[in-house]
Amino acid sequence: MLAFSVFGATPVDFLTFVIAAAIVLAGAFGVVFSRNPVHSALSLVMTLFGVAVLFVEQHADFLAAVQVIVYAGAIVVLFLFVIMLLGVDREENVDVEPLGPVQRWAGLLIPLVGLFLLLFLAGVRDWATGTPSARGAASGSAAGGAPNVDLLGRSLFTGFLLPFEVTAVLLVIAVVGAVVLARRPPRAEQAEMLAEQRALDEQLAKERDAELVAEHLEGRS
């Protein structure tokens, strides 16, 4: 027992939280503000780690592990793969199709307002008003010393059995989807496809021009 507490927590816990939160936020800002997508992806990893720390801090050990392995290990790598594959690992050219001031400021303002509204609604501290322990303890100590993994696994195979089964369907879809999307068309079709694509592009361009002209005329009339 330490002699003092900060906001009802031990200094260690508090410090852990502060540092993790800083990492999380820094990573998040990194994602948003990096010109280069690769940097964004790396910043994302940072955030994910920070979140994992916060998971641990809240007795979600298994989830923290999964967070690091699945998120940081698989998902972000997938992102990096795609970035490399497409060759878009360059800085964004902000002059092409600029955002416009409305989007920029509204994009900032609206989420901020939303945040404040949410905080107001929660009254900052009235968050969890629900009935505690409806299903079973989350932490080991409260649940009679069972490890977090046990609790989670038990819950998955009893109360959440069907959702768990449904995730299988999700993964099948992901596989099939990935195959469908990423599959290169047969060679025979490829030339034709390119020609068609070109024709399509041309037609789309033409349509766009016609639309522009029409809009122009409409605007004038």
What residues between 181 and 220 interact with other proteins by CB under 8 A?
Answer: 181-182, 185, 189, 193, 196-197, 200-201, 203-204, 208, 211, 218
Among 173, 202, 209, 212, binds other proteins (CB under 8 A): 173
When asked if residue 4 is in the footprint of other proteins (CB under 8 A), the reply is no
Cα–Cα distance between 43 and 31 in angstroms, integer? 5
Task: Output the six-digit token pair for 103.
Answer: 């989007």
Determine contact, residues 62/154, Cβ cutoff 8 Å.
no
Cα–Cα distance between 186 and 189 in angstroms, integer? 5
Coil, strand or helix at 117: helix
Among 161, 209, 213, 216, binds other proteins (CB under 8 A): 161
Q: Which residues, 76 to 135, sit near other proteins by CB under 8 A?
A: 78-79, 81-83, 85-86, 88, 90, 92-93, 96-97, 99, 103-104, 106-108, 110-115, 117-135
Q: Which residues, 46 to 65, sit near other proteins by CB under 8 A?
A: 47-48, 51, 54-55, 57-60, 62-63
Minimum gap (Å) between residue 112 Cβ and other proteins: 7
> Of 208, 185, 211, nearest to 196 (Cα)?
185
Number of residues located near other proteins, criterion CB under 8 A: 134
Cα distances (angstroms) measured from residue 117 to each of 56, 103, 120: 29, 20, 5
**Amino acid found at 122:** A
Among 4, 101, 144, 221, binds other proteins (CB under 8 A): 144
> Of 51, 46, 66, nearest to 148 (Cα)?
66
Minimum gap (Å) between residue 78 Cβ and other proteins: 6
